[in-house]
Amino acid sequence: MKNATVVVMAIALWAGVSAAGEKAGVGNVPKELVLGSLSRVYEPVRFNHSGHVSTAGGCADCHHQHGSTDVRSCTQCHRTDPSAFKKNVNAGMLKPCRECHSASAGPGAGIDRPTLKAAYHQACFKCHRGDVGTVGKDPKGCTEMCHVPAAQARLDGKK
C-alpha cells in the first residue's frame, strides 16, 4: 500500500521535472561506521557499511526514509533521472538513525517507534537472525558477532 502510494507519487514527479541533478549521485556513502551508543556496556561496534551496501543491494533495508515523519521533497534525496531514480540516493541527505530514534528509555519509549538500540538491532536482524551469525539461535551470538563487553575489552587492551 505504502509502496504503491510512493510509486504513484514518484511517477507524478518524474512527469513534472527535467533530468537535472546529475551531481546528486551515490557520493558520501560511509565506508566504515562506528556505532557507539551502547559504549557503557559494550565497546563500540565497527560496522562495515560499504560491504553491507553491496550485499544489501540498496539502502532501503536499513535507511527506511519513507513512511517516516520526513516531508522533504523527493529531489533532495533522489536524482530526477528516471532510469536511476531509485538507486541514486543522495547520501548526504540520509540522516543518522538517532535523529529520529531516541536513545533514552523512559515510560512509553519504543511503543510507536523503536528506540535507537532497538532500531539498529531490528534493522540488522532482518538478515542476521539465524542466517549470517548465530543471533536468534544462541545467546552468545551477540558477543560472537559484534559486541565486546566493555570491561573485557579494557582487559584485553592491557595484555
Partner 1 sequence: MADIPKRNIPGGNVPEGQHPSGKNEEAGKATLSRRRVLQTLAAAGGATLVGASAEVFADNKIKGWPDRKGMLTDLTECVGCRTCEKACNRANGLPEPEVPFDEKSVFEKKRRPTASAYTVVNRYENPKSSDKPLYRKVQCNHCNEPGCASACPVRAYTKTPEGAVLYNKDVCFGCRYCMVACPFYVPAYDYESALDPRIVKCTMCHGRVKNGGIPACAEACPVGAVTFGKRSDLIRAARERIRKNPDRYVDHIFGEYEVGGTSWLYLSGVPFDRLDFPANLVEKPLVEQTKGFLSAVPLVLTIWPALLGMCYASTRNKEGKE
Contact positions toward partner 1, by CB under 8 A? 105-112, 114-115, 117-119, 121-122, 125, 129-131, 135-143
Q: H-type helices in 66-149, by residue range? A: 116-125, 141-145
Residue 62 is placed in which grid cell? 536499513
Applying CB under 6 A, does 63 fall inside the site for ligand HEC? yes
Residue 109 binding: pick among partner 1, ligand HEC, none (C-beta 5-8 Å cut-off by kind): partner 1
* Least distance from partner 1 to the Cβ atom of residue 101, Å: 10
Quote the least distance from Cβ 32 to partner 1, whole Å. Answer: 22
Beta bridge mates, 32: 48
The angle formed by the CA atoms of residues 30, 32 and 34, to the nearest 5 degrees, is: 110
Helix ranges restricted to H, 17-79: 49-56
Residues 105-124 binding ligand HEC (CB under 6 A) are: 113-114, 119-120, 122-124
Contacts of 16 (CB under 8 A, 6+ apart): none
Q: Which C-beta is closer to ligand HEC: that of 99 or that of 156?
A: 99
Residue 96 buriedness (CB in 10 A; 0-12 / 13-18 / 19+): exposed
Q: How far is the CB of 127 from ligand HEC (least distance, A)?
A: 3
Smallest distance, Å, CB 15 to partner 1?
30
